[in-house]
Amino acid sequence: MTKKEYREKAKFENNDFVNQNNEWYNIEPFESAMIERIIPRIINLTPNKDSFKICDAGIGLGTTMYCFYEETKTFKDKDFKFYGVEKYKEYVDFFNNNLKQYWDDKIVIYTNDIMKHNYGEYDIVYTYTPFKKEGDLMCLYQKIIDEMKTDSVLFECTLNGNGFYNTIQKTHKNNQNKTNMINIMGHNVLVIK
C-alpha cells in the first residue's frame, strides 16, 4: 500500500472525545519527502546494528510511522519492529481493526499515556509535539533520555508556529553529559551516549 493510500484509510472522523478533554492532539501530521528521508539517515548513524525497535510516542493512527516503515524497506540486511504509544483507546481500536493489516505484523501499539510508558527498549523514539506546553514536552524528552540505552536516538518533529523549535536543543543543553546532538536535514536528533 502506498503512503497516500494509507493516509486515506487512516481518516478518523470522530475527534469529539479529544475536544471534550481539551487535549492537544493531531492524528495526521504533515508528511513530506524530507521527513521520510530522515529515518534512513538515522539508521545509518549505527551501520553495524542489525535490528531496530522504533517507537512513536503519541502515534495516533500511524500515518507518519507508516512512512518510516516504508522507508526502512530499503534496508534488506536489517530487521525492524515498530511500536506506538497512544493514550486514546478509540484510535488504537480503529488502527487494529482497519490499518494493522498493512504492517506485515511488524507493529504493536500500546494503549498508554506517553508519560507512563518505558522507552528503554527502543533504538529510535519519534515524537510529533504531543503537548501544548514546552515544559511538558521537555519533561517527556527528559524521561525518554533517562530511559533510553546507549546509541539510541530521540527524534522530534515540531508544528509550524508552535514555538517548540528550540526544545530539543534546550533538552540537549541540560543533558550534555548524556547526549550528542546531530542535525540531519534541518532536524536535530539526540543520540544517547
63-87 residue pLDDT tens: 888 988 998 998 999 999 999 999 8
Q: How far is CA 166 from CA 12, 55, 78, in A?
A: 31, 22, 33
Q: Residue 12 class from Cβ within 10 Å (0-12 exposed, 13-18 middle, 19+ buried)? A: middle
> Which set of grid coordinates corresponds to residue 112?
498508554
Domains by residue range for the chain, with CATH: 3-192 (3.40.50.150)
Sort strands 153-157 and 179-184 into parallel, antiparallel or unpaired. unpaired
Q: What 3-state DSSP class applies to 70?
A: helix
* N-terminal to C-terminal alpha carbon distance within the chain: 37
Which of 88-92, 142-146, 157-161 shows the lowest per-residue confidence on average (mean pLDDT)? Answer: 157-161
**How confident is the model at residue 64, as a pLDDT?**
85
> Which set of grid coordinates corresponds to residue 132?
501544548
**How confident is the model at residue 20, as a pLDDT?**
52
Neighbouring C-beta atoms of residue 137, cutoff 10 Å: 22
Q: What's the pLDDT band for 187 if we cut at 50, 70, 90?
A: confident
Considering only residues 62 and 148, tell me which one the structure prediction assigns the higher pLDDT.
Answer: 148
Angle at 91 between CA 80 and CA 148, to 5 degrees: 40
Please provide the average confidence, as pLDDT, over all residues in the chain. Answer: 84
Considering only residues 187 and 80, tell me which one the structure prediction assigns the higher pLDDT.
Answer: 80
Considering only residues 30 and 157, tell me which one the structure prediction assigns the higher pLDDT.
Answer: 157
Q: What's the pLDDT band for 9 if we cut at 50, 70, 90?
A: confident
pLDDT digits (tens, 9 = 90+) for 89-105: 888 998 999 999 999 88
**How confident is the model at residue 156, as a pLDDT?**
83
**104-123 exposure pattern, b = at least 16 Cβ within 10 A, e = fewer:** eeebebbeeebeebebeebb
Give dist(CA 29, CA 90) in Å, integer: 18
Give dist(CA 10, CA 7) in Å, integer: 5
**61-74 exposure pattern, b = at least 16 Cβ within 10 A, e = fewer:** bbbbbbbbbebbee
**How confident is the model at residue 1, as a pLDDT?**
86
| Percent of the chain surpassing pLDDT 90 | 46
**CA nearest neighbour of 163 among 137, 124, 140:** 137
**How confident is the model at residue 15, as a pLDDT?**
56
Which of 40-49, 98-107, 156-165 shows the lowest per-residue confidence on average (mean pLDDT)? Answer: 156-165
pTM score, whole prediction = 0.87
